[in-house]
Amino acid sequence: MTISQGDTLPDATLVQLGADGPAPVKMSDKVKGRKVVIFAVPGAFTPTCHSAHVPSFVRTKDQFDAKGVDEIICVSCNDPFVMKAWGEATGASEAGITMLADAQSEFTKALGMDFDAAPAGLVARSKRYAMLVEDGKVTLFQPEEGPGVCDVSGGEALLANM
């Protein structure tokens, strides 16, 4: 079953690459008592993710801050080394966006947002979406209907509905 607006966000452990190497990050710790934006992409460095989705949140980071968002988190079913490199390449890390790896697709599967596109080399990946989570509850959920587009899940689109 796919997560919906009004649902409690499932807990999962993701991974972030820090100064001391890969470190586990419990999603429940990230959202408890906080206002957090989470957006997910099918893959780091893939065309739409790299040229449209992440840049939309880099461009709008200050506007989310002004609306009281405590953190913006990008989730992808890649490893933490790739996520760190991607955050650096896109300017997301410098902008203050948290790049989390869902390497085993645990979080993505719990949301019901997993898919496979084996011919494109994408297996156990996340569908594209953006959500606003307040104290663990999904208050706004904007999944993309089709692949290769970033219309309703981009930073500007999420801001417009907040």
- What is the rounded distance in angstroms from the CA atom of residue 58 to the CA atom of residue 136? 23
Residues 147, 117 contacting (CB under 8 angstroms): yes
* Catalytic pick among 49, 74, 77, 150: 49
Query: Tokens 């219309």 label which residue?
Result: 151
- Which residues have C-beta within 8 Å of that of residue 87, sequence separation ≥ 6? 74, 93, 97, 99
> Within 13 Å of residue 73, how many CA atoms lie on the same side as its CB?
26
- Which residues have C-beta within 8 Å of that of residue 29, sequence separation ≥ 6? none
Q: Extract the tokens encoding 38.
A: 């989470």
Active site residue 74: no
Cite the active site residues.
49
